C-alpha cells in the first residue's frame, strides 16, 4: 500500500512530521533554529534541542539512523540483580586485608540500609592478577576473570538510592520512581531493529524469576507499547505466542484469510488510514514471530561443544537454564535484535536466596550464585568474540549498587552501598583492558572520576550514535530523556 | 511579531535550550555592571557562574581533584592541591583566581575544551572575594522566575468569548449548538468543510462506546434506527448519560489521570486491599454528576465534608514500603511520597507541572520552589495507610468492641487469680539440645561418648508427639528432639546445672523404638541409669549416687509407650514427659550423668528440670511449677503485691532481630486493678534505644494504650534492649502484661528471655520480680512476619487446685478464648479505606536547597502557587484538615484560570481522542497550544455557569454536529489537517483496552455487570514479601466483570490487555499512548481469554438463533458490529463456519479492525 499523508490516526506520538506540525512542541525546534540563525547567533555553544526519531507508523520497529556514526549497533546488558559486591569481585582493595576486622576509619556511627556496621572485612575470595593486563580480579568469577583483557571497568559508579526497587529502576530506566521507559525501550524507540520478525528489545529473565522491580525494568513507560521489552527465556516462551490447542494450522490460516478480507473491506471506507493498515501489518509480524521465536529458542541446533562450553548440560537445573539463556542471548543478537537484557538473579525467593543480596552470609550465598553466572556468561563473551560479533555489539555488565566493605553488625554479610561500585563494558567502542575511576581505599565511596548512572547511560547512548540530550519524548510537560537533565559521556573510556 | 512578544519568545527559547541541554537555568546571568561599591551577591552573581563554568567537574556530583566549589568548606580548604581555592578578602591569594587567570593554557581552568570564564566574570569573582567572599549560610529564598511574565494564554482569566457568526446558510443549517460555530468558523478559515452526519447505526455505536464503554445491543440499534420521534437523539444521549455504566467508563479515565492502583508499587508491590473504595467513589461521583468543584474538594479534603473515601485520591500513588534505619533513605522516601501528592494535585486539577519546582524554580512556568514547599506544607500531615471509614456500621462495631473488651477484661481478671506467681523458686531447664540454636559447645552439657544419632519425635499433636500442645495441667512437648547412644553400661552424657542447695529434679527422655533405620528394631533400653555426681569429677566414685533407673520404653508416668510398628516406614518416638527423680543437694560443680543400661539397646537423653526445693518441702512434687511459654500475643506476669515507682523490662534474647513490645501494662493490686503504666495516667517511658526511622515503632507507643505492630516500640539493639516506665506515683502493683503484637499478626522480634525489675527510688535499686526462667522454653521460632502463629500451647498450670476450681478455670479459659475470637472478628470487621491517614504535622516545612532534605532553608507556610493568588493566608498552626480544605477551595474557585479549562479539555479529549490542548495535564508554557482557544474558553464558561456539571458539557459535545460527523476521510481534509485537530470529520481510533475487553464479554454474553466492591483478580494469589504476580491460566465467571473492576496491580498488567497501552499506575496518565504491536495481535488471537470468549460467543449464536448458519452469522455481525453483513461478507463467513466451525468465525470477528475501532 502506498504511503500517503498521515491521517489523524497516524498519531502524532509516533511521527516526527506531526511533531513538527505540532505548534507546542515544534515551537522549540523550528522557531529556535529560525530565530537564532536570523540573529546570527547560532553559535557553537548552543546545543540543539531535542530531535525525535522519524517513525513510520506502519513499521514502528524499522531500523532508523542514529544521530551520528555509531561505534556499536547492538547492546547486550547482563544485569546482576540484588547488588553485586564489587569488593569481592572486581574492585581489589588490599587495605581491606591489612585492616581486616578493624573499624572503618571515620565510620563509627555509620548507619546503612539494614542498620549498624561492623568492622572492615577482607573478601573471602582471593584476588589474583589476570591476563596480560594483570588486572586483579577475585576467584568469585574465575571464568569471567580470564577475560579481563577485553574489559573496560568503571570502578566509581554511584547510585541515587540504596533500596533495590528504586536503584534497579534507576539503573534500568534512569529514574528511581516507577513508570519511566527502560533503556532498552529508549534505544528501540531511537533505532528500531535490524530484523523484521523479532521484537527490537528482548529481555531474558533469570530462571529463578524476575528481579526486584519486575517488569518495570523493561517497561515502555510512557513510550508507545511497541517499544516495550518482550520478556522470554529459553525455558519460558512469549505469552500467547503459540497457536492455542484445538485450533489447527488450517483453522489459523483460514482465520487470517478471513481477517484480511474483512479488514480490506473495512479499509475501503477509510482509504489511506495508516492506523488501520498498521494493524494489518502487525498481524503479519505476529505470524512471522510465531515461526521465528520458537526457532530462535530451539537450541537443539547448537553444537554439543557449544552446549558444553556454556554449561547448558549442567546437572544443576538453574545453572543449565541460565546457560541456555546465555545461548539464547547470542542467537537473538545474531538475528539483529537491537537490545538484549539478560538477567541474573531474581527476588521471588527472598533476600539473598535467589540473587546477589548477600546481607547475612555472603560467602555461602555467593558460592551458590557465582557458578550460575560465571561459566555461562564467560562462554557467551567468548562465543560473541569468536564470531566477530563484538565488532558491533556492546556488552554491558551492571548491577543496581555495590556492597559495604564492612560486615553488618552481627552478620557475616555486607549491606547495600550506593556510594561506590563497579560496572564494566566490553566489545564495540570501549577501551579494552582499561579501568576508569576508583573508590577510596576501602571500596566504600567513589573517590576518583565519579560516575553517575546518568553518565553511564549517556555513554551507552553515545556508543550507539545517540546524543542523550537530543533523544527525548514529550510527556506531562517535559521533554523526557533517559538521562533526565543530567549526564556526561565518559569520553575516557571510548576506544 | 510584536517586539515585546518576540523578546519574550527569545528568552523563553534560550531558557528552553539551556534546560534541554542539561545546564542549570540559572546560567542566564545578570548582565549589569556593578561598580566597585556594589556588594556582590553570592546567590545572584557568583553561584550561577560557578554552576555554569565549574560545577561540571567541581560540583555536587563530581569533585575532580577532590575540589567541590558547591561546598563552602571545600572551597576554603581547597582540593588535592591543599591550596585554599578561596581566601576571603584576598583574591590574589585565592588559588581559584590563580587557576582561572593562569597564563599557561594547560594550567588554566576551565580546560580549553570547556567554555572559558569571561573577564567580566573574573572581575566579579575577584570583587566578591575581596569583599570577604560572603557565602550565605542560607541562600536567599528562591524567587518566582521573573523571566516569565504571566501573559501565557492559560494564565489569563476565563472570559466568555462571543460565538462566531456563521454566514452561509448551509452552515447555519448544520450547526446544532455553539460548538459547531467555533469549529466551522475555523474550518472555513483553513479552507475545509465539515463532513456529513454519520448514519444512525454509527451514531448509536459511537455514543455507546464513548459514554458507557460498551457496544449497543442489536435491539437498541434497531429501536434507535427506527425511532421517528424528533428528539430521538436527545433521548438516547440522555439515556446513556443516565446509565450506571457511564460512571464505569468515565471513572476509568479519572483513575488513569490520578495514577490509581491497588498495590504499593516499587520493590515489594504489596496489595492495598482497601483501596477499591476510592474507585467506587469515583464511579459514583461521575454517575451522580457531582459538581466538579465539589469533586475537587472531596478528593483533597473529603474528610471535612462527609466524603471520607474521596481522599483516596491523595494516596492513590505508589509508596516505597522498604524501611531502613538509614535516615537518608527514610527522609528521601517521605519526600518522594509528598512529591507524588504535590505533583498529582497540580497536574490533575490545574494542569501545572508543579513537581518540576522541587529542586529549583520551575524552568518555564511561574511556580517557585517556595510554592512547591508551600504545597508540601499543605500535605505534610498526610500519610499513606488505611483509615477507618466513619459510618453507622463502624459505630455499631465500636460499641460491640467496647462491650466485648469489658467482658474480656472481667474474665481475664478472674483468670489472673489462677495464674501462678512468677519467679517464686529458682528454676533451670536444660535441654540436650536447644532447638533453633547453634549446636556449638555449651557449658551446661557434656557429651561423654560419640553420639549415635539425633531423632525427632513423631510428628503430630497427640500426647508425646512433636507438636503436642499439652493441656490444662499437662506440659506440652518441650523436648522436640532427643539424642541417643548404643552404649551398655557406659556414661554417655552429663547435665551441669551449676546450682547449689536442695533441688527437686525431673528427668525426661525419648521413649519408643530405636531409630527407624535400625533393622533389629531394638527397643530403647529398659534400665537407663541416672547418677548424681556431687563434685562433678567423674574420676571420684564415692560422691556418686544412682538417682533413677528408667525404662525408656515407657512414658514418665509409667504407662507403656506404643510399641506397634507403623509399617516399614518407622515407629513412634514420643517424649516421655517429666519424671520426678527426688530432692537432692547440689554443689555448683555437680553433674547428672546418663549411663547406658545392661543391654546395648539405645539410651536416650532429653530435657531435665531443676527447681529449688523450699525448706518445708519433704517429698518431691509430681511436676515442677512452670509457667506457659512466651507468646506473640499477651503474656502475663503475676507476683505478690510490691511497691513500685519504676518498672524496667529488660530483653535478653529474641527469636529474631531487635525486640518489639507493643504495650506494657502495669496493674495495681485491688479488686479493680488500674493500668498505671499509661501515659494518660501520667507515667513516663524511657528506653535503652529506639529503632530510628519508623513512626509506628516510637517509644511513646509502649504505653499509649494501643495494641498491634503499628503502635509498638522496637529497640535499636539486636536481641536486646530495655524499656522503663516511671509511674506517676508510687503504687502497689501485682500484675504486668505485655506482648509483641497483641493483634496477633507478627511473630518475629519476640522477647524470649527477659527480666522485670522494680524500684522505688530514683537510684533505681532494682528488685527482680519476674523473668522467663520459669517459663516453658520458647520453641516455635517464626522467621518472618508472615507467620504470626506462635502458639504457646494449651498448657495452663493448675497444680494444687481442687477439682471444682479446675472446672471453673476451664470455663473461664473457654470464655476468654471465645471473647478473644469475637474481638478479633470485630477488629477485622471494621470498615477500612485506603484513603490516607491525617495527623497534625510534627515538624515545620522548610524549603530545601536543591530539593535535598539535608539542606533545609527557611520555614515555608502552607499555601498554593503565589502567582495564581495561592497565598492562602495560613499559618504553621493551621489545622491539617483546614490546610487541605483551603487549598481545595483555592483550586476550585471560580476565578482560578486553569481549573475549568483543564477539565473541559479533558472531557473534550475523551470524546475526540485529542484535547483542544493536546497536553491535558500541562497547561503551562511548555504545554500544547490550544487548537481552538476561544472554544475552550467558551466551554470553560459554560462549565462554570452550569454549576460545574460534567454531563452538561458532554450533552453539548455529544449533540453537536461536530461530534456527529461521519468519520470517512476526505482528500482535502487529509492534506490540510492530517491529524484532524480542526475536526473536519469525526476522528476514528482504536478502542482502549477496557472497551475492547468489555465489548468482547458483552458480545459473547458472558459479561457480569455487577457494580462496585472488591475487584476481581487476574493473578495467582501469593504471599511473598516481594509479591510475584503470575497471571492466572484459566478464567471463569468471576473474572468476567468489567475491566474497571480488575484489581489494579502497579507495574503489572493483564496478560492479554496490558499490551493495548494500559497505564501501569507508576506515573499519572492523562493521555494514553495508542500503539499497534504484534504482541497485541498474538494476544487477541491466542490467549486463553479470547479463545474461551470466542467459544462462548459461538454458543450464544447457537442458542439464540436457529441451526441456520446464515442466521448465526447475521446475529454475530449484529452483536459485534451493530449491523448486518452484506452478501460478500455473508458468503465468506458461511464458508469459514462450514469448513472451520463457528468458534473460529467468532475468534476472527474479535480481531477485525471494525470491531476494534470507534468510527
Q: B1144 and chain A: CB distance < 8 Å anywhere?
A: yes
Nearest to B592 by CA among B608, B571, B579, B603: B608
- Note the pLDDT of residue B561: 58
Q: Do A221 and B347 touch (CB under 8 A)?
A: no
Nearest to B331 by CA among B379, B878, B339: B339
State yes or no: pLDDT of B522 exceeds 80: no
- Note the pLDDT of residue B795: 78
Q: Hey, how many other C-beta atoms are within 10 angstroms of the C-beta on B436?
A: 14
Q: A217 and chain B: CB distance < 8 Å anywhere?
A: no
pTM for this one?
0.74
Radius of gyration, CA atoms only, chain A: 24
- Note the pLDDT of residue B619: 83
By mean pLDDT, which of A460-474, B180-194, B412-426 is the weakest? Answer: B412-426
Q: A345 and chain B: CB distance < 8 Å anywhere?
A: no
Q: Distance (Å) from the C-alpha of residue B112 to the closest C-alpha of chain A? A: 14
CB contacts, 8 Å: A487 with chain B: 22
What does the pLDDT look like over B1017-1027, one tens digit per residue?
A: 999 887 777 77
Stated as kind and residue range, the H or E segment containing B119 is helix B119-130
- Note the pLDDT of residue B226: 96
Mean pLDDT of chain B: 87
Confidence band of B342 (pLDDT split at 50, 70, 90):
very high
Give, to the nearest 10 degrees, the angle between helix B933-945 and helix B950-958. Answer: 130
State yes or no: pLDDT of B1001 exceeds 70: yes
Q: B918 and chain A: CB distance < 8 Å anywhere?
A: yes
Q: A215 and chain B: CB distance < 8 Å anywhere?
A: yes
- Of A240, A251, A255, Cβ closest to residue B1083: A240
What does the pLDDT look like over B373-382, one tens digit per residue?
A: 999 999 999 9
B520's grid cell: 533389629
What is the SS3 assignment for B960? coil
- Of B62, B1064, B1086, Cβ closest to residue A219: B1064
- Of B1052, B1139, B1145, Cβ closest to residue A214: B1052
CB contacts, 8 Å: A164 with chain B: 267, 322
- Of B324, B327, B1066, Cβ closest to residue A114: B324
Q: A364 and chain B: CB distance < 8 Å anywhere?
A: no
What does the pLDDT look like over B703-737, one tens digit per residue?
A: 999 999 989 999 999 899 999 999 999 999 999 99
Contact predicate A495/A99, CB 8 Å: no
Q: How far apart are CA B224 and CA B213, in angstroms?
A: 18
By mean pLDDT, which of A183-197, B434-448, B990-1004 is the weakest? Answer: B434-448
By mean pLDDT, which of B27-31, B572-576, B829-833 is the weakest? Answer: B27-31
Query: Side-chain half-sphere of B1151: how many Cα atoms within 13 Å?
Result: 33
Contact predicate B1006/B1037, CB 8 Å: yes
Confidence band of B472 (pLDDT split at 50, 70, 90):
confident
Q: Do B1148 and A259 touch (CB under 8 A)?
A: yes
Q: Distance (Å) from the C-alpha of residue B169 to the closest C-alpha of chain A? A: 29
Q: C-alpha distances in angstroms, B57 versus A90, B52, B60, B64, B67?
A: 26, 11, 9, 6, 8
Outline where DSSP puts E strands in B183-330: none
- Note the pLDDT of residue A21: 33
Q: How far apart are CA B991 and CA B703, in angstroms?
A: 57
- Note the pLDDT of residue B147: 43
- Note the pLDDT of residue B62: 66
DSSP H helical ranges for A233-389: 249-269, 274-297, 304-310, 317-334, 362-386
Q: Do A477 and B1029 touch (CB under 8 A)?
A: no
ipTM here: 0.78
Q: Distance (Å) from the C-alpha of residue B966 to the closest C-alpha of chain A? A: 11
Q: Dihedral sign for Cα A56, A61, A67, A69, please.
A: negative
Cα–Cα–Cα angle for B76, B82, B85, rounded to 5 degrees: 35
Q: Dihedral sign for Cα B1128, B1134, B1139, B1142, please.
A: positive
Stated as kind and residue range, the H or E segment containing B972 is helix B971-976
The more confident residue out of B318 and A45 is: B318
Range picked from A256-270, A474-488, B70-84, B431-445 for highest mean pLDDT: A256-270
The more confident residue out of B69 and B674 is: B674
State yes or no: pLDDT of B228 exceeds 50: yes
HEC secondary structure over B342-383 = HHHHHHHHHCCCHHHHCCCCCCCCCCCHHHHHHHHHHHCCEE
Percent of chain B with pLDDT over 70: 91
- Note the pLDDT of residue B513: 55
Please, what's the b/e burial string for A243-262 (b: 16 or more CB within 10 A of its CB; e: otherwise)? bbeebeeebbebbbebbebb
Write phi, then psi, for B533 (nearest 5 degrees): -105, 110
What does the pLDDT look like over B776-799, one tens digit per residue?
A: 888 654 333 333 444 456 777 777
The more confident residue out of B693 and A447 is: A447
Contact predicate B462/B472, CB 8 Å: no
Residue at grid coordinates 494450522: A249
Q: C-alpha distances in angstroms, B975 versus A5, A6, A135, B195, B980?
A: 7, 8, 63, 15, 10
Q: Do B1078 and A286 touch (CB under 8 A)?
A: yes
Residues 6+ apart with CB under 8 A from B417: none
State yes or no: pLDDT of B568 exceeds 80: no
State yes or no: pLDDT of B489 exceeds 80: yes
Q: How far apart are CA B333 and CA B324, in angstroms?
A: 10
- Note the pLDDT of residue A111: 77
- Note the pLDDT of residue B379: 98
Q: Do A450 and B1069 touch (CB under 8 A)?
A: no
Cα–Cα–Cα angle for B662, B666, B667, rounded to 5 degrees: 135
B184's grid cell: 466551522
Contact predicate A204/A462, CB 8 Å: no
State yes or no: pLDDT of B456 exceeds 90: no
Q: C-alpha distances in angstroms, B916 versus A147, B185, B703, B937, B988?
A: 58, 15, 59, 11, 16
Q: A68 and chain B: CB distance < 8 Å anywhere?
A: no
Residues of chain A with pLDDT under 70: 1-51, 348-352, 477
The interface residues of chain A toward chain B in range 268-287, judged by CB-CB distance below 8 A, are 269-273, 275-276, 278-283, 285-286
Mutate: best of B927, B1077, B1080, B1138, partner A, most A CBs <10 A: B1077
What does the pLDDT look like over B627-665, one tens digit per residue?
A: 988 988 889 999 999 999 999 999 999 988 899 999 999
Range picked from B361-370, B932-941, B1024-1033 for highest mean pLDDT: B932-941
By mean pLDDT, which of B18-27, B633-642, B837-846 is the weakest? Answer: B18-27
State yes or no: pLDDT of B1068 exceeds 80: yes
> Looking at residues B671-691, what average pLDDT do you find?
93
- Of A12, A243, A263, Cβ closest to residue B1152: A263
B1011's grid cell: 457494580
Alpha carbon of residue B952 to chain centroid:
38
The more confident residue out of B696 and A350 is: B696
> Looking at residues B1034-1051, what average pLDDT do you find?
94
Per 3-state DSSP, chain B is made up of helix, strand and coil in percentages (nearest 5) of 35, 15, 50
Q: Do A165 and B320 touch (CB under 8 A)?
A: yes
Q: A479 and chain B: CB distance < 8 Å anywhere?
A: yes
- Note the pLDDT of residue B780: 56
- Note the pLDDT of residue A115: 80
B8's grid cell: 519574550
Give, to the nearest 10 degrees, the angle between helix B178-189 and helix B950-958. Answer: 50
Nearest CA in chain A to B1051: A216
CB contacts, 8 Å: B1120 with chain A: none
- Note the pLDDT of residue B519: 46
Contact predicate B561/B526, CB 8 Å: no
Confidence band of B80 (pLDDT split at 50, 70, 90):
low
Confidence band of B137 (pLDDT split at 50, 70, 90):
low
- Note the pLDDT of residue B103: 81
Concatenate the DSSP letters of all residues of B740-805 into one string. Answer: S-TTS---SS-EEEEEEEEESSTT---EEEEESTTBPPP-----STT-------S-B--TT--HHH
- Of A47, A213, A286, Cβ closest to residue B1082: A286
The more confident residue out of B553 and B522 is: B553
Amino acid at each position: 500500500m502506498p504511503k500517503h499523508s498521515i491521517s489523524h490516526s497516524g498519531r502524532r506520538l509516533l511521527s516526527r512530521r506531526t511533531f513538527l506540525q505540532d505548534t507546542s512542541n515544534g515551537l522549540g525546534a523550528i522557531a529556535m533554529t529560525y530565530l537564532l540563525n536570523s540573529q546570527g547567533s547560532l553559535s557553537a555553544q548552543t546545543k540543539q534541542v531535542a530531535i525525535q526519531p522519524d517513525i513510520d507508523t506502519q513499521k514502528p520497529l524499522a531500523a532508523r539512523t542514529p544521530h551520528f556514526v555509531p561505534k556499536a549497533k547492538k547492546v547486550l546488558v547482563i544485569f546482576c540483580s540484588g547488588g553485586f559486591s564489587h569488593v569481592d569481585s572486581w574492585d581489589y582493595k588490599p587495605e581491606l586485608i591489612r585492616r581486616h576486622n578493624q573499624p572503618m576509619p571515620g565510620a563509627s556511627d555509620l548507619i546503612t540500609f539494614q542498620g549498624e556496621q561492623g568492622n572492615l572485612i577482607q573478601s573471602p575470595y582471593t584476588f589474583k592478577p589476570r591476563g596480560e593486563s594483570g588486572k586483579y580480579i577475585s576467584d568469585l568469577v574465575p571464568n569471567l576473570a580470564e577475560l579481563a583483557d577485553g574489559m573496560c571497568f568503571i570502578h566509581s559508579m554511584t547510585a541515587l538510592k540504596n533500596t533495590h526497587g528504586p536503584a534497579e529502576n534507576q539503573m534500568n530506566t534512569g529514574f528511581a520512581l516507577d513508570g519511566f521507559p527502560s533503556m532498552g525501550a529508549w534505544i528501540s524507540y531511537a533505532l528500531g531493529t535490524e530484523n523484521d520478525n523479532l521484537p527490537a528489545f528482548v529481555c531474558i529473565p533469570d530462571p529463578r524469576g524476575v528481579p526486584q522491580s519486575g517488569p518495570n525494568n523493561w517497561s515502555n513507560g510512557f513510550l508507545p507499547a511497541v517499544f516495550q521489552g518482550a520478556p522470554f527465556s529459553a525455558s519460558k516462551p512469549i505469552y500467547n505466542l503459540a497457536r492455542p490447542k484445538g485450533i489447527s494450522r488450517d483453522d489459523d490460516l483460514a482465520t487470517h484469510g478471513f481477517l484480511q478480507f474483512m479488514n480490506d473491506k473495512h479499509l475501503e471506507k477509510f482509504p489511506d488510514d495508516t492506523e488501520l493498515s498498521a494493524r494489518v501489518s502487525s498481524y503479519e509480524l505476529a505470524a512471522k514471530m510465531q515461526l521465528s521465536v520458537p526457532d530462535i529458542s530451539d537450541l537443539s541446533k547448537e553444537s554439543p561443544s557449544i552446549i558444553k562450553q556454556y554449561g547448558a548440560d549442567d546437572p544443576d537445573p538453574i545453572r543449565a537454564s541460565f546457560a541456555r539463556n546465555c545461548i539464547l542471548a547470542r542467537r537473538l543478537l545474531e538475528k539483529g535484535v537491537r537490545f538484549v537484557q539478560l538477567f541474573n538473579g531474581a527476588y521471588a525467593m527472598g533476600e539473598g536466596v535467589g540473587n546477589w543480596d548477600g546481607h547475612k552470609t555472603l560467602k555461602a550465598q555467593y558460592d551458590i550464585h557465582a557458578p550460575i553466572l560465571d561459566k555461562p556468561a564467560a562462554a557467551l563473551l567468548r562465543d560473541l568474540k569468536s564470531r566477530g560479533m563484538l565488532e558491533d555489539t556492546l556488552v554491558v555488565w551492571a548491577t543496581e549498587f555495590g556492597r559495604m566493605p564492612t560486615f553488618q553488625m552481627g552478620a557475616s554479610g555486607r549491606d547495600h552501598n550506593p556510594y561506590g561500585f563497579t560496572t564494566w563494558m566490553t566489545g564495540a567502542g570501549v577501551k579494552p583492558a582499561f579501568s576508569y575511576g576508583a573508590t577510596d581505599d576501602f571500596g566504600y565511596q567513589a573517590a576518583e572520576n565519579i560516575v553517575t548512572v546518568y553518565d553511564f547511560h549517556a555513554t551507552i547512548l553515545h556508543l550507539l550514535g545517540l546524543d542523550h540530550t537530543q533523544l527525548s519524548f514529550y510527556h506531562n510537560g517535559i521533554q523526557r530523556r533517559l538521562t533526565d537533565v543530567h549526564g556526561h559521556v565518559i569520553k575516557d573510556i571510548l576506544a | 511579531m510584536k517586539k515585546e512578544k518576540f523578546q519574550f519568545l527569545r528568552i523563553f527559547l534560550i531558557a528552553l535550550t539551556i534546560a534541554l541541554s542539561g545546564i542549570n537555568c540559572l546560567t542566564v546571568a545578570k548582565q549589569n555592571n556593578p561598580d566597585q561599591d556594589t556588594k556582590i551577591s553570592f546567590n545572584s552573581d557568583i553561584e550561577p557562574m560557578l554552576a555554569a563554568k565549574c560545577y561540571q567537574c567541581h560540583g555536587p556530583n563530581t569533585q575532580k581533584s577532590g575540589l567541590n566549589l558547591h561546598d563552602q568548606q571545600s572551597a576554603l580548604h581547597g582540593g588535592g592541591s591543599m591550596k585554599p581555592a578561596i581566601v576571603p578578602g584576598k583574591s590574589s591569594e585565592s588559588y581559584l583566581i590563580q587557576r582561572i587567570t593562569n597564563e599557561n593554557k594547560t594550567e588554566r581552568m576551565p580546560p580549553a575544551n570547556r567554555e572559558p570564564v569571561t573577564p567580566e566574570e573574573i572581575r566579579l569573582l575577584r570583587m566578591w572575594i575581596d569583599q570577604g567572599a560572603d557565602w550565605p549560610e542560607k541562600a536567599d529564598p528562591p524567587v518566582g522566575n521573573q523571566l516569565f511574565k504571566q501573559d501565557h494564554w492559560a494564565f489569563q482569566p476565563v472570559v466568555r468569548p462571543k460565538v462566531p457568526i456563521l454566514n452561509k446558510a448551509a452552515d447555519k443549517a448544520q450547526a446544532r449548538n455553539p460548538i459547531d460555530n467555533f469549529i466551522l468558523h475555523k474550518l472555513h478559515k483553513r479552507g475545509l468543510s465539515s463532513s456529513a452526519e454519520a448514519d444512525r447505526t454509527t451514531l448509536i455505536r459511537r455514543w455507546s462506546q464513548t459514554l458507557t464503554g460498551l457496544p449497543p445491543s442489536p435491539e437498541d440499534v434497531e429501536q434507535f434506527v427506527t425511532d421517528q420521534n424528533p428528539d430521538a437523539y436527545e433521548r438516547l444521549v440522555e439515556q446513556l448519560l443516565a446509565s450506571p455504566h457511564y460512571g464505569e467508563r468515565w471513572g476509568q479515565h479519572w483513575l488513569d489521570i490520578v495514577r490509581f492502583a491497588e498495590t504499593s508499587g516499587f520493590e515489594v508491590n504489596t496489595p492495598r486491599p482497601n483501596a477499591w473504595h476510592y474507585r467506587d467513589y469515583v464511579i459514583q461521583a461521575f454517575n451522580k454528576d457531582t459538581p466538579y468543584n465539589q469533586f475537587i474538594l472531596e478528593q483533597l479534603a473529603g474528610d471535612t465534608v462527609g466524603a471520607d473515601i474521596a481522599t483516596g485520591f491523595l494516596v492513590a500513588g505508589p509508596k516505597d514500603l522498604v524501611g531502613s534505619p538509614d535516615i537518608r533513605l527514610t527522609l528521601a522516601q517521605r519526600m518522594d511520597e509528598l512529591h507524588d501528592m504535590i505533583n498529582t494535585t497540580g497536574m490533575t486539577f490545574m494542569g501545572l507541572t508543579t513537581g518540576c519546582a522541587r529542586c529549583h524554580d520551575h524552568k518555564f512556568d511561574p511556580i517557585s520552589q517556595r510554592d512547591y514547599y508551600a504545597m508540601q506544607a499543605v500535605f505534610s500531615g498526610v500519610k499513606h495507610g488505611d483509615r477507618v471509614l466513619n459510618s453507622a456500621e463502624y459505630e455499631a462495631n465500636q460499641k460491640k468492641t467496647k462491650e466485648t473488651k469489658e467482658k474480656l477484661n472481667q474474665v481475664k481478671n478472674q483468670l489472673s487469680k489462677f495464674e501462678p506467681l512468677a519467679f517464686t523458686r529458682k528454676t533451670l531447664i536444660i535441654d540436650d539440645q536447644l532447638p533453633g540454636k547453634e549446636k556449638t559447645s555449651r557449658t551446661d552439657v557434656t557429651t561423654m561418648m560419640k553420639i549415635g544419632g539425633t531423632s525427632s519425635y513423631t510428628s503430630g499433636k497427640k500426647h508425646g508427639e512433636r507438636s503436642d500442645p499439652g493441656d490444662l495441667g499437662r506440659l506440652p512437648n518441650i523436648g522436640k528432639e532427643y539424642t541417643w547412644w548404643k552404649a551398655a553400661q557406659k556414661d554417655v552424657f552429663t547435665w551441669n546445672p551449676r546450682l547449689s542447695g536442695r533441688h527437686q529434679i525431673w528427668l525426661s527422655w525419648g521413649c519408643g523404638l530405636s531409630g527407624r533405620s535400625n533393622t533389629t528394631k531394638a527397643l530403647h533400653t529398659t534400665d537407663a541409669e541416672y547418677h548424681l555426681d556431687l563434685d562433678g569429677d567423674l574420676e571420684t566414685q564415692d560422691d556418686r549416687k544412682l538417682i533413677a533407673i528408667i525404662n525408656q520404653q515407657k512414658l514418665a508416668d509409667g504407662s507403656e509407650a506404643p510399641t506397634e510398628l507403623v509399617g516399614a516406614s518407622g515407629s513412634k518416638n514420643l517424649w516421655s514427659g517429666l519424671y520426678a527423680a527426688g530432692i537432692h543437694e547440689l554443689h555448683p560443680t555437680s553433674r547428672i550423668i546418663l549411663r547406658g543400661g545392661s543391654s546395648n539397646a539405645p539410651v536416650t537423653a532429653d530435657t531435665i528440670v531443676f527447681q529449688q526445693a523450699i525448706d518445708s518441702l519433704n517429698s518431691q512434687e509430681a511436676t515442677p511449677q512452670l509457667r506457659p511459654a512466651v507468646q506473640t500475643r499477651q503474656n502475663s506476669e503475676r507476683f505478690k503485691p510490691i511497691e513500685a515507682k519504676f518498672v524496667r523490662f529488660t530483653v535478653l534474647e529474641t527469636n529474631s532481630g531487635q525486640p518489639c513490645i507493643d504495650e506494657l501494662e502495669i496493674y495495681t493490686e485491688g479488686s479493680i486493678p488500674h493500668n498505671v503504666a499509661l501515659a494518660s495516667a501520667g507515667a513516663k517511658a524511657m528506653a535503652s534505644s529506639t529503632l530510628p526511622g519508623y513512626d509506628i515503632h516510637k517509644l511513646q507507643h509502649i504505653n499509649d494504650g494501643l495494641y498491634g505492630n503499628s503502635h509498638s516500640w522496637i529497640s535499636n539493639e539486636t536481641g536486646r534492649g530495655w524499656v522503663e516506665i516511671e509511674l506517676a506515683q508510687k503504687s502497689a502493683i501485682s500484675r504486668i502484661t505485655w506482648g509483641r503484637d497483641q493483634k496477633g499478626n507478627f511473630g518475629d522480634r519476640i522477647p524470649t528471655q527477659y527480666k522485670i525489675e522494680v524500684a522505688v527510688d530514683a537510684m533505681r535499686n532494682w528488685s527482680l520480680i519476674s523473668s522467663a526462667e520459669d517459663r516453658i522454653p520458647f520453641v516455635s521460632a517464626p522467621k518472618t512476619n508472615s507467620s504470626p502463629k506462635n502458639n504457646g500451647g494449651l498448657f495452663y498450670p493448675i497444680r494444687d487446685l481442687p477439682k471444682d476450681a479446675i472446672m471453673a478455670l476451664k470455663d473461664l479459659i473457654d470464655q476468654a478464648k471465645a471473647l478473644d475470637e469475637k474481638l478479633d472478628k470485630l477488629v477485622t470487621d471494621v470498615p477500612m479505606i485506603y484513603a490516607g491517614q491525617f495527623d497534625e504535622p510534627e515538624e515545620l516545612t522548610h524549603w530545601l536547597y536543591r530539593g535535598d532534605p539535608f539542606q533545609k532553608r527557611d520555614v515555608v507556610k502552607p499555601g498554593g502557587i503565589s502567582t495564581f493568588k495561592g497565598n492562602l493566608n495560613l499559618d504553621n498552626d493551621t489545622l491539617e484538615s483546614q490546610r487541605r480544605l483551603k487549598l481545595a477551595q483555592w483550586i476550585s474557585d471560580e476565578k482560578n484560570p486553569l481549573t475549568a479549562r483543564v477539565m473541559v479539555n479533558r472531557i473534550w479529549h475523551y470524546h475526540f481522542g485529542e484535547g483542544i490542548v493536546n497536553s491535558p495535564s500541562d497547561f503551562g508554557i511548555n504545554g500544547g497550544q490550544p487548537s481552538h482557544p476561544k472554544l475552550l474558553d467558551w466551554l470553560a464558561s459554560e462549565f462554570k455557569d452550569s454549576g460545574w456539571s460534567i454531563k452538561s458539557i458532554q450533552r453539548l459535545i455529544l449533540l453537536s454536529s461536530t461530534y456527529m460527523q461521519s468519520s470517512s476521510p476526505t482528500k482535502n481534509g487529509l492534506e490540510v489537517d492530517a491529524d484532524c485537530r480542526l475536526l473536519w470529520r469525526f476522528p476514528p481510533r482504536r478502542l482502549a483496552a477496557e472497551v475492547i475487553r468489555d465489548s468482547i464479554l458483552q458480545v459473547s454474553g458472558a459479561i457480569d455487570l455487577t457494580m462496585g466492591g472488591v475487584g476481581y483478580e487476574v493473578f495467582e494469589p501469593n504471599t511473598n514479601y516481594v509479591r510475584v504476580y503470575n497471571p492466572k491460566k484459566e478464567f471463569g465467571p468471576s473474572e468476567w466483570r468489567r475491566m474497571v473492576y480488575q484489581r489494579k496491580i502497579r507495574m503489572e498488567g493483564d496478560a492479554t490487555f496490558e499490551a493495548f497501552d494500559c497505564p501501569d499506575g507508576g506515573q499519572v496518565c492523562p493521555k494514553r499512548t495508542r500503539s499497534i504491536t504484534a504482541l497485541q495481535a498474538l494476544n487477541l488471537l491466542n490467549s486463553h481469554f479470547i479463545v474461551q470468549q470466542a467459544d462462548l460467543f459461538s454458543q450464544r449464536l447457537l442458542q439464540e438463533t436457529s441451526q441456520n448458519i446464515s442466521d448465526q452469522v447475521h446475529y454475530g455481525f449484529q452483536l459485534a458490529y451493530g449491523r448486518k453483513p452484506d452478501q460478500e461478507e455473508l458468503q465468506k463467513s458461511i464458508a469459514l463456519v462450514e469448513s472451520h466451525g463457528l468458534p473460529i468465525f467468532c475468534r476472527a470477528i474479535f480481531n477485525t479492525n471494525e470491531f476494534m475501532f470507534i468510527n
